[in-house]
Amino acid sequence: MKTGLGVSDTLQEADNKEHIRTRIDKTLLADNQANVQNSAAQIRMTAKDVNVHYADNHAIKDVSLSIYANEVLSIIGPSGCGKSTFLRCLNRINDIIDDCKIRGEIKLDGKDIYSADMDVVELRARVGMVFQKPNPFPKSVYDNVAYGPRLHSMVSNREETDEVVYSCLRQVGLLAEVEKRIHKSGTELSGGQQQRLCIARALAVKPDVILMDEPCSALDPIATAKIEDLIDELRTQYSIVIVTHSMQQAARVSQRTAYFNLGDLVEMGDTGQIFTNPQHQLTEDYITGRFG
Amino acid sequence: MPQTPVSFWDTPKFKRGLAKRRAAEWRFKLYGLIAMLIGLASVALLFVSITLNGVGAFWQTQIKLDIFFDPAEFSEENLQAANYGKLVKNTLYSHFPEVTKRKEKRQLSRIVSVGADIMVQKMVMAEPSLIGTTKSIWLPVDDVFDMLHKIDFGRDSSKGGSGLVSENQLKWFDSLVANGLIDSRFNRTYFTAGDSREPELAGLLGALMGSFYTILVTLLISFPVGAAAACYLEEFAPRNRFTDFIEININNLAAVPSVVFGLLGLAVFINFFGLPRSVPLVGGLVLSLMTLPTIIIAGRAALHAVPPSIREGALALGASKTQTVIQEVVPLAMPGMLTGTIIGIARALGETAPLLMIGMVAFIVDIPSGPLDPSTALPVQIFLWVDSPERAFVEKTSGAILILLAFLITMNIVAVWLRQKFERRW
Amino acid sequence: MNAWILIVVVLALSSLLYYVAKRRSLTIARSVGGIHRLHSAPRYYGIVAALLFAVPALVVLGLWISIDEGIIFRLVLAEYFPELDRESQVDIDWLTSQILIFAQTGRLGNVENAELLQLAAARYQHLTSLSQTLRNASVLALGSIAGFVFVLAISEKLRARPIAEGIIRGLMVFSSLIAIFTTVGIVLSVLFEAINFFQIVPVADFLFGLEWSPQIAIREDQVGSSGLFGSIPLFVGTILIAGVAMAVAVPVGLLSAIYLAEYASARIRSFAKPTLEILAGVPTVVYGFFAALVVAPYFADIGARIGLNIAHESALAAGVVMGIMIIPFVSSLTDDVMTAVPQSIREASLACGATHSETVKRVVFPAALPGIIGALLLAVSRAIGETMIVLMAAGLAARLTANPLESVTTVTVQIVTLLVGDQEFDNPKTLAAFALGLTLFVATLLLNVTALYIVRKYSEQYE
Ligand SMILES: Nc1ncnc2c1ncn2[C@@H]1O[C@H](COP(=O)(O)OP(=O)(O)OP(=O)(O)O)[C@@H](O)[C@H]1O
Ligand SMILES: [Mg+2]
């Protein structure tokens, strides 16, 4: 039997290795809350049967998963498999793409974020995002970070603003580098600095959930370590979803990992278990580097 | 140390702010919508007001007179000298036997256009066999009565134009209307005559021909020169200070006010070269200088869009650079160049100010027969007619604008069509 | 043979020469053993011959036409009216027109010296036909010599293609230089006459004078014959009307551009954008008509109803209509620069929880601001250079006022009114137009160059 997933070769292998699944079985992806380290964890966001189409490109197929409070969930998968797309559904930033159609149900704290009475402004304030490509505003570094707090009147005077801006810049390890140029344009920073600036900008809004799309792709190992520490620290207050191409990073920072392939959520589970004992042929191929 | 954060997003402060921000959002969008609607309404208002004012120009109120060409009035050798005015007037008087006083008769005769006798004269001279017969002829009424018939202008004070028509004239005219002698007919004069002080005798042909010659000169100069300049600048010119300077120059020229071009035409073509004033040749020269930047810029864009592979292919076959450009690249860029040219020419066709300054603003009755005959142009004719006090000229002006706009719209449609038909995606 | 026939003859002869030269090259090719022995393809010999015939012939013809009538008249007048004052352009114009009319129609106006005029007209006709004969002969001779010498010189070694390409490239370079000639022509013509003007009227009087009344007395001895040339009222009028125009065009243009770029659905956009752009294609004389006959009476009417005294030729009406004309400039340029702002920073703003309008106001608009300023500068340049609307709707009274309900006049209006009708190039009234033209040219040049610089610099930013 051939599926459209390009897994026909592996079907034979499946006969030998019984424990490895080769077909995607949604029912087996039910949340294993038991595997979450923090057993007191409560559910922050849930996605149920989410489908995304860009015109006639079916980018996300029937994905269901949950995001817990105070956890880091990493999403891995080959390029083009829909990681960014899925992330962008979680704060409805995909709404502004005209030919992007989303079906299914996504809830934040039990409330359907695609329902009519959900305020997208509030949603996006609660679910912050760091984009794959750094996109600082053509404003000063300071104004970039102060953008969100000012918008929501979270700060009312200069001192409060200063405090938020400086602490956020410090958190992402950028303060020392840019202190002198804090009033120069954010677009003049280096790529890695811009990426951290964007993280700081997202932190400044103090969201409940932070979505990070490859936040370390342009960073050196030291800055990466710094961000990873930060993520770990942020976990105490927030839920974090991180897309990454680095398996090591996923292993280091996340409690749970989801593996996407061609728009399907193939496997999801405890990070340790995914990397040591993947349940699915595709996952195994990917993490052992046999993919493609 | 997991806190129990009361999220800022749940505070009433945020919720209140959010409501305000939502309202601001809504208002902002509304302002944008209103602005767009104002823009669209201006377009609609402009076109509707001109159309409503202008369609009347194509119709003319005429009076039917059964004229008896009394042989006694004509002498064999000189048909031209006969008193045609008398023929027309007597026929009109015959409808009102009760009018006998000279003063009243004069008033009555004013109903018919002063140009009527010339029309009758032309008719007889073309067909002398009419003499001795009776023929019913439609002749234009005076513009005052044209307006009276079309829009009741001058009928009473509420309609405006009070005092233009006397009470007697009103009575006579109404009785002519009642007898079916007055009718609105297609205005041939409008398309076959030159300018005139009398609205009912004024036509556009002179201005149309003037515009035709002017635009012909513009096209003949600006297209080849513009295309050649675009080719040179895009394909051959080295990139250096000098060509940069040329480029800045061209971009700036595209935004120089048209009166300044008028000054140039006056000082250089008329004063320095001694070319005659008021002629389409000079108008065309000035307008081609104005149009050149548009054509060059569009031409360069069209050439730029031709992919390098075409040039490389031809060069690889051993063609010279010039050969390649002229035989391979220019034909591909031609639709784009033509589009730019049509748009530039359309703009030149509506241009008025520089033509005023080189004297194409005179009152010219004759139809020009070449680019060296004094003439006006269509937009200048519009300008001249707007200045005329007669109410009927408003209609004539709007009609001329409709014709001008029809030309412009046609040209733009052709340009768009050209672009779509030949647009290539490489 | 008149000029048009001559042009046709020149073109016909040059195409004939094309065939002759091509034939000859083929004959030569046969005698030396085939076409490949020729340096260039046969058609290049034809092209060079044709160009060598047509280009000099047409250049000579053009020069001849542009100067012969002036010279002929000068000769005729010098011969028959030697006492005529060289300076009095009006008399000269009148006489030449009388001579022309008589020569062409045989009719005489009621003139005193009819006999002299008839003689002069006869002389004029004689000289004209002589000039035409000479012209035709020299044009054809010059073309023929160049063309036929080339045909005779054809040999298999003659490098026809480089010569043809050289000529073509020369023509191209010449064409590109016309843009520079135009600018130089503008600068020189405006500058020279302006300098002449400033010799009569001091620069300071012109630039800072508060009164403008250039009406020169008909007779020299009349009082106030020099006129007053203080241009401040004109500048104020220009700025006032341009200000009203911008006050209409900037909000409407900007907001509708924002609506179209950010909010409108694709369907509305595809209808509204081209519809607004129609406004840019409408000739200014049409706006002038609209202002003078529709908007101005309407405003005056409203004014009368609410007790405001709005002049029939008010700055307000002209300015509002000019603003309508400028809307598409502002809106389409703004639309361009706003859509050039990358989507990614819009997303960044939205992801911080900004509303759409906050994103536009705080991020997109500031990012596009340099481009928008460039667009607005171009629009201002357009507004102060606009002529027909103000000429038809704003009036001629040079009033020093900032009240848009009154009638004012502008620089462009004065340029046109000073120059329409007869001009003499030694009269301050005529020269004043050139001085005004100089200020207008300089002002728009500064605006344009700044705007082009800003727009260019800005467009590099997101590349
Ligand atoms: N704006 C868009 N319009 C149309 N198609 C899109 C758009 N964005 C993404 N896609 C398509 O959706 C699919 C998933 O893209 P997505 O960006 O989610 O991949 P990804 O997993 O993030 O890849 P990468 O690791 O390279 O970032 C791809 O096939 C892509 O071509
Ligand atoms: Mg991605």
Chain B contact set for C269 (CB, 8 A): none
Tokens of C4: 């048009």
Q: Given CB atoms, is B7 within the 8 Å cutoff of chain A? A: yes
User: Which tens digits make up the pLDDT trace of C409-447?
Assistant: 999 999 998 887 666 666 788 888 999 999 999 999 999
Q: Tell whether B147 is covered by a domain.
A: yes
Instruction: Give the β-pairing of C212-213 and C228-229.
Output: antiparallel
Q: Given CB atoms, is C173 within the 8 Å cutoff of chain B? A: yes
Count of structural domains within chain B: 2
Same domain, B356 and B219: yes
Mean pLDDT estimate for chain C: 85
pLDDT at position B23 over 70: yes
Query: What's B290's domain CATH number?
Result: 1.10.3720.10
Q: Which residues pair with A45 in a beta bridge?
A: A67, A108
Closest CA to A215 of A165, A172, A255: A172
Tokens of B136: 């019913």
Q: Tell whether B153 is covered by a domain.
A: yes
**What is the four-CA torsion angle of C316, C317, C318, C324, rounded to 10 degrees?**
100
| d(C-alpha A155, C-alpha A165), whole Å | 11
The last residue of a domain, from among B178, B194, B225: B178
pLDDT at B311: 87
pLDDT at A14: 41
Q: Under a CB-based contact definition with an 8 Å cutoff, are residues B125 and B79 in contact?
A: yes
pLDDT at position C225 over 80: no
User: Which tens digits make up the pLDDT trace of C76-127?
Assistant: 888 877 776 655 666 676 777 777 777 777 666 666 677 777 888 888 888 8
Do the Cβ atoms of A125 and B22 come within 8 Å? no
- Across A3-7, A142-146, B194-198, C93-97, the highest mean pLDDT is recorded for A142-146
pLDDT at A129: 94
Q: Which of A51, A52, A54 to mutate to test the pocket of ligand 1 (most atoms within 8 A of CB)?
A: A54
Same domain, B415 and B346: yes
Same domain, B218 and B167: no
pLDDT at position B167 over 50: yes
In this prediction, residues A197-223 reach a mean pLDDT of 91
Instruction: Give the β-pairing of B59-68 and A111-112.
Output: unpaired
Q: Which alpha helices (DSSP H) does B265-307 contain, by range?
A: 280-305
User: Which tens digits make up the pLDDT trace of A108-148?
Assistant: 988 899 988 888 999 999 999 999 999 999 999 999 999 99
- How high is the ipTM of this complex? 0.90
- Across B156-165, B323-332, C80-89, C454-463, the highest mean pLDDT is recorded for B323-332
pLDDT at position B15 over 80: yes
Q: Which range, of C224-228, C235-239, C309-313, averages the lowest pLDDT?
A: C224-228
Q: Tell whether B72 is covered by a domain.
A: yes
pLDDT at A42: 83
User: Which tens digits make up the pLDDT trace of B218-257?
Assistant: 999 999 999 999 999 999 988 888 888 888 889 889 889 9
Chain C contact set for B50 (CB, 8 A): 286, 289-290
Q: Tell whether B39 is covered by a domain.
A: no
pLDDT at position A206 over 70: yes
Say which amino acid occupies A103.
R
Q: Tell whether B161 is covered by a domain.
A: yes
pLDDT at A291: 54
CA of A260 to the centre of ligand 1 (A): 12
A6 Cβ below 6 A of ligand 1: no
A65 Cβ below 6 A of ligand 1: no
pLDDT at position B77 over 90: no
Tokens of A25: 């079985």
pTM: 0.85
Q: Which range, of B397-401, B414-418, C375-379, averages the lowest pLDDT?
A: B414-418
Q: Which range, of A258-267, B190-199, B267-276, averages the lowest pLDDT?
A: B267-276
| d(C-alpha B391, C-alpha B342), whole Å | 35
Same domain, B114 and B251: no
User: Which tens digits make up the pLDDT trace of A27-40?
Assistant: 445 444 444 444 44
Closest CA to B214 of B345, B46, B20, B331: B345
Q: Which residues pair with A243 in a beta bridge?
A: A75, A213
CA of C259 to the centre of ligand 1 (A): 29
Closest CA–CA distance from residue A238 to any residue of chain B (Å): 10
- Identify the structural domains of chain C with CATH numbers, from first to last: 3-195 (no CATH), 228-458 (1.10.3720.10)
Percent of chain B scoring above 90 in pLDDT: 35
Chain C contact set for A151 (CB, 8 A): 352-354, 358, 362
pLDDT at position C222 over 50: no
Q: Tell whether B393 is covered by a domain.
A: yes
Q: Tell whether B140 is covered by a domain.
A: yes
pLDDT at A210: 94
Give the domain range for residue B276. 205-422
In this prediction, residues C129-155 reach a mean pLDDT of 85
Do the Cβ atoms of C352 and A124 come within 8 Å? yes
| d(C-alpha C76, C-alpha C97), whole Å | 13
Angle of helix B116-126 versus helix B84-94 axis, rounded to 10: 110
Instruction: Give the β-pairing of B182-186 and C212-213.
Output: unpaired
Chain A contact set for B2 (CB, 8 A): 70, 236-237
* Alpha carbon of residue A182 to chain centroid: 28
| d(C-alpha B102, C-alpha A119), whole Å | 87
Mean pLDDT estimate for chain B: 87
Q: Could you tell me the fold of the domain covering A11-139+202-287?
A: Rossmann fold (3.40.50)
Closest CA–CA distance from residue A3 to any residue of chain C (Å): 36
pLDDT at B94: 87
Chain A contact set for C366 (CB, 8 A): 138-139
Looking at chain A, which residue has its C-alpha nearest residue B13? A153
Q: Under a CB-based contact definition with an 8 Å cutoff, are residues B251 and B245 in contact?
A: no
> How many CB atoms are closer than 10 A to CB B125?
12
Same domain, B172 and B236: no
Instruction: Report CA-CA distances (Å) from B364 to A76, B174, B213.
Output: 83, 35, 15
Instruction: Report CA-CA distances (Å) from A78 to A5, A243, A257.
Output: 13, 11, 14
| d(C-alpha A58, C-alpha C44), whole Å | 60
Q: Torsions phi, psi of B208, nearest 5?
A: -65, -45
Mean pLDDT estimate for chain A: 84
- Among the atoms of ligand 1, which is closest to the Cα of residue A85? 18
pLDDT at position B388 over 70: yes
**What is the four-CA torsion angle of C345, C350, C353, C359, rounded to 10 degrees?**
80
pLDDT at A17: 44
Same domain, B224 and B168: no
| d(C-alpha C84, C-alpha B402), whole Å | 48
A263 Cβ below 6 A of ligand 1: no
pLDDT at C86: 59
In this prediction, residues C62-89 reach a mean pLDDT of 75
User: Which tens digits make up the pLDDT trace of C307-358?
Assistant: 888 888 888 999 999 999 999 989 988 888 888 889 999 999 999 999 999 9
Q: Tell whether B37 is covered by a domain.
A: no
A82 Cβ below 6 A of ligand 1: yes
Same domain, B279 and B376: yes
Residue in A154, A236, A237 nearest the CB of B8:
A154
More confident residue, C295 or B167: C295
Do the Cβ atoms of A151 and C346 come within 8 Å? no
pLDDT classification of A253: cutoffs 50, 70, 90: very high
> How many CB atoms are closer than 10 A to CB A249?
20
Looking at chain A, which residue has its C-alpha nearest residue C366? A138
CA of A142 to the centre of ligand 1 (A): 31
- Across B210-214, C229-233, C339-343, the highest mean pLDDT is recorded for B210-214
pLDDT at A1: 36
> How many CB atoms are closer than 10 A to CB B178?
9
pLDDT at B240: 86
